[in-house]
Amino acid sequence: MKLTPRTHFWIDLLIRLVVGGVFITAGAMKIGEPLQFGDKIASFEILPNSLVNLLALGLPVFEMLCGLLLIAAWLRRPAALAISIISGIFLIAIVTALARGLTIDCGCFGTGTPTRARMWLDLARDTGLFLAVVIAYLYPAIKAPHAPESEARILSERAAT
Amino acid sequence: MKLSYIGRDLIGVVGLAIISLAAGLIINHAGPHPIPLVHQSPSERLQGELTRLVAAPPFESFPVETVGLDEFRPAVESKDDLILDARSSSFYLKGHVPGAINLARDEFARDYVRLRSSLEKSKEAPIVVYCSGGDCHDSKMVAQALTSLGYSQVKVFTGGWDAWTAAGLPTERGEPAGK
């Protein structure tokens, strides 16, 4: 499938706004309640207690920072990669929790009542976010400054003048 | 696809993560309720809260009597029983069962000391505790803590806030009236 640069630009912008918006919201909803978020992380029974609260304190800031950078398209490549990695980790965490028969609240957006049905919804949403942000990372519409194409263009423009 | 940039971008990811962790730690340290850096389970925290109360016996986990909505609703409407909300105050302020008093599991010692004079009148009186519902354990833990402090008629409404609101029953917001 070959997209026109214009279509590509709009798709890329839409992904960045939606994914960035979701991560800013998710971070903002958890940043004021690290104690409750720590309990949610602990309920996955993956991390040792010594790391749970560090993650509960750092992750909301990380989500908001990367969401902002992704939307602002500043440091967008590291931001998109960071969101790809953390949404990939969320996916693994939810899949393993489902596989282990745990009924927990993912804690993605503050706190809620845990049900198995909601966990499947979380899984579907995270899969969508993960795929979207991986696309935004691998196929950026705005060329990074070090992309070979733009360097080649600058060189050819210089040669022409 | 420019996979050759991944290494470089990964360094950026690590940088963003370090900045975020540092910012998170600073926000926690400067905030009004800093959390400890090592996680404690809710029951460990309640144990810590209980030991802050004078002469509190050790927190023990034991079965508590439960009630359903059919018993809880008349208890709320008659105002005969003391209704306690075990959720954290941010949830309590957003909405709670009419007449319920907030005795948050996470702020047990603080809330207990604040409510002590009115609570201790109910040592022999029926008390019903609820939390959000579903799998929440806060109501059970608060009921156990109260029982170990000598309250004799503590029960748990297992349906909690979810069952109350799902039944379309009236709710109250903010601080309790007249407190």
Find the angle CA(A138)-CA(A142)-CA(A147) to the nearest 5 degrees: 70
Mean predicted lDDT score pLDDT of chain B: 87
In the block, tokens 């109250």 appear at B172
Q: How far apart are CA A97 and CA B65, in angstroms?
A: 30
In sequence order, the 6+-apart residues with CB closer than 8 A to the CB of B14 are none
pLDDT for res B167: 93
Summarize pLDDT for B4-18 with one digit per residue, the tens: 788 899 999 999 999
In a domain, A33, yes or no: yes
Question: What is the distance in angstroms between the Cα of B69 and the nearest Cα belonging to chain A?
Answer: 18
Q: How far apart are CA B179 and CA A116, in angstroms?
A: 40
* Closest by Cβ to B134, choosing from A49, A85, A114: A114
* Closest by Cβ to A57, choosing from B5, B15, B25: B25
In a domain, A158, yes or no: no
In a domain, A57, yes or no: yes
Q: How far apart are CA A39 and CA A112, in angstroms?
A: 12
Question: A44 with A4: CB under 8 angstroms?
Answer: no
Question: For residue A129, which of A95, A60, A80 has the smallest C-alpha distance?
Answer: A80
In a domain, A73, yes or no: yes
Distance of CA A113 to the CA centre of its chain: 23
User: Which of A51, A52, A61 has the most B C-beta neighbours within 10 Å, making it the best mutation to test the interface with B?
Assistant: A61
Terminal Cα distance for chain B, rounded:
64
Provide the ipTM. 0.82
Per-residue confidence band for A144, with pLDDT thresholds at 50, 70 and 90: very low
In a domain, A149, yes or no: no
Summarize pLDDT for A54-90 with one digit per residue, the tens: 999 999 999 999 999 999 988 999 999 999 999 999 9
In a domain, A67, yes or no: yes
Q: Answer whether A65 sits within 8 Å of B10, measured CB to CB.
A: no
| Total tally of structural domains belonging to chain A | 1
Q: Answer whether A61 sits within 8 Å of B42, measured CB to CB.
A: no
Residue of A nearest to B39 (CA): A49
Question: What is the distance in angstroms between the Cα of A92 and the nearest Cα belonging to chain B?
Answer: 19
- Which two structure tokens, joined as six digits, stand for A8? 């590509």
In the block, tokens 């460990």 appear at B44
- In terms of residue numbers, what domain contains A97? 5-141
Look up the pTM and report it. Answer: 0.68
* Strands (E) located in A35-103: none
